[in-house]
Amino acid sequence: MIQARPYRRSAFYTLGFVCLLGLLGCPRGTDKGVMAKVNGYKVLRSEVDKSFNSQTAGTTQKPTQAEEEALRLNILLRIIDVQLHLQQAQKLGVVATDDEVESKFSQIKAPYTQEEFQKILKDRGFTEDEYKQEIRRNLTIDKLLNKEIASKVTISDSDIQNYYNLHKADFNLIEARYYVAHIFVSALPTGSGSSATAEDQRKKIQTIYNRLQSGEDFAGVAGRYSEDQDTAHNGGELGAMPESQLKNTDPATREAMQKLNSGQFSGVITVINPNTHQTTGYRIVKLLSKEAAGQRDMSDPAVQQFIRSQLRTQREQLLRVAYDEVLRDGASVENYYAEQIMKNSAGNK
């Protein structure tokens, strides 16, 4: 049985906005710097350039023209979708409050010193006010989608029973499974201009461990301090790990996990590359729960929660696709950049 994660609109609190010149000629429109219009809102080339620069910062290989055009087009399409959502939120009177913005800003800023955070903003072309405005936009969209989608999904007991009957074999585990979360701090250079040394990172993970020892919530600490961007937003959860997979993990982590009971977390584990014998990072793991092999019954609360999450995810994803399509159908969208790509393609034949 695979652990389900509730559907979430992935947040994109982008920190990198610096202008670049586009490869294509000027798009059609009254202003040569306008790449698209969304119900009259002008999407400027500078908006796309800034996001493009953020996503390509630190890359050593320059993208080909086709790769750059594809990335810019995807960024533009994302901006168009964001504008459609923001305009709908305005119509419905949905907006993030100042307290919500400040709370999110403080959470993002927490892992850094004031000097480090200001350097990050400066390097990527943001002032604090501009960054808070970006946070406000994304929180507003989150609230809109919760109102228009998540709040309209209901899962009944009969829905859960029907799902179980159809997928009963999926709940027969052939081997034990561990549900694990972790907090990871890298010991290697990040390439982002950070001056942190391996010793600094070791001290950081020790400080994190001290926070956990003092009673702070593991998921909350992971969200603020873990450098594993794939799991930090989800409280550090790694999902279900079959017993056979645990045998293949690094010895230090495996040994630590085998000593844990559900709800306990390990000490600081040094992660070493088995090939180079180089320290790559430090982690703290928490055993959330363990499932023994065998058939899971419908009466098991964990089974019911899994099915409920699965069904909610499916329905929210379907509603999100339909909702976005309805917004597009009712909008006036002119994508000049896409038109220019097609024109250039025809000209190259």
Q: Is the pLDDT assigned to residue 29 strictly greater than 50? A: no
What is d(CA 70, CA 34) in angstroms, rounded to the nearest whole number?
18
- The domains of the chain, with CATH numbers, are 1-170+297-349 (1.10.4030.10), 175-292 (3.10.50.40)
Q: Is the pLDDT assigned to residue 244 strictly greater than 70? A: yes
> Is the Cα dihedral 336, 338, 64, 189 positive or negative?
positive
Calculate what percentage of the chain has a pLDDT beyond 90.
Answer: 58
Q: Answer yes or no: are the C-beta atoms of 285 and 236 closer than 8 Å.
A: no
110-128 residue pLDDT tens: 777 888 888 888 777 788 9
SS3 34: strand
Mean pLDDT of 21-28: 38
The band of 18, judged by pLDDT with boundaries at 50, 70 and 90, is very low
The band of 104, judged by pLDDT with boundaries at 50, 70 and 90, is very high
260-288 residue pLDDT tens: 999 999 999 998 887 788 888 999 999 99
The band of 194, judged by pLDDT with boundaries at 50, 70 and 90, is low
Write the burial class of residue 60 (CB in 10 Å: 0-12 exposed, 13-18 middle, 19+ buried): exposed
The band of 53, judged by pLDDT with boundaries at 50, 70 and 90, is confident
Q: Answer yes or no: are the C-beta atoms of 80 and 43 closer than 8 Å.
A: yes
Q: Which amino acid, one-letter code, is at 283? A: R
Q: Which of 6-10, 67-71, 344-348 holds the top average pLDDT?
A: 67-71
Spell out the residues 6+ positions from residue 264 whose beta carbon is closer than 8 angstroms to its own: 286, 287
What is d(CA 250, CA 252) in angstroms, rounded to the nearest whole number?
6
Q: Is the pLDDT assigned to residue 235 strictly greater than 70? A: yes
- How many alpha carbons lie under 13 Å from residue 68 in its C-beta half-sphere? 14
135-177 residue pLDDT tens: 999 999 999 999 999 999 999 999 999 999 999 999 999 999 9
The band of 347, judged by pLDDT with boundaries at 50, 70 and 90, is low
| Model pTM score | 0.67
Q: Which amino acid, one-letter code, is at 114? A: Q
Mean pLDDT of 95-124: 86
- Mean of the per-residue pLDDT values of the chain: 85
